[in-house]
Amino acid sequence: IFRETLSKRGVRVLTGLGKYFRQIDKNRNGILSQAALKEALKVFHLEMPEGDFESLWLILDDTKSDKVDYGEFTRAIFGEMNEYRKAFVRKAYMKLDFNKTGSVPMVDVRKCYCAK
């Protein structure tokens, strides 16, 4: 049900959730508590019955740590990238990593990308 709701409302909601998660993640560890996820879903009008939320949490918190990594959350909702998207990302990364160091400093990203 959750995935269907997100697919109807699209990428804007998921990118909005990402921005919201980054704002509330004060220590920048990429981890969400159960309360933070529940509040975020409420803010984005993705509320669900408590039983459904508990089921969602059990799926997301597969390590039983009472915390969920934001990256795991997005993979659980979106799934893994298909091969076409992976190839596209690799191509873009190779263009950004023109020094072939295996990492891309923000300075190099700014040289190649304008978000305006």
Q: How many domains does the chain have?
A: 2
pLDDT tens-digit readout, 51-108: 988 988 888 887 788 888 887 777 777 777 789 988 998 998 888 887 888 888 888 8
CATH code (residue 34): 1.10.238.10
Comparing 29-33, 36-40, 111-115, the range with the smallest average pLDDT is: 111-115
Same domain, 50 and 92: no
Same domain, 53 and 8: yes
Record the pTM. 0.59
- The stretch 14-36 carries a mean pLDDT of 85
If pLDDT is split at 50, 70 and 90, which confidence band does 32 have? confident
Same domain, 41 and 95: no
pLDDT at 6 over 70: no
What separation, in Å, do the N-terminal and C-terminal C-alpha atoms of the chain show? 35
Q: In which domain, by residue range, is 102 found? A: 83-112
Exposed e or buried b per residue across 73-92, where buried means at least 16 C-beta atoms within 10 angstroms of its C-beta: beebeeeeeeeeeeeeeeee
CA 62 to chain centre: 17
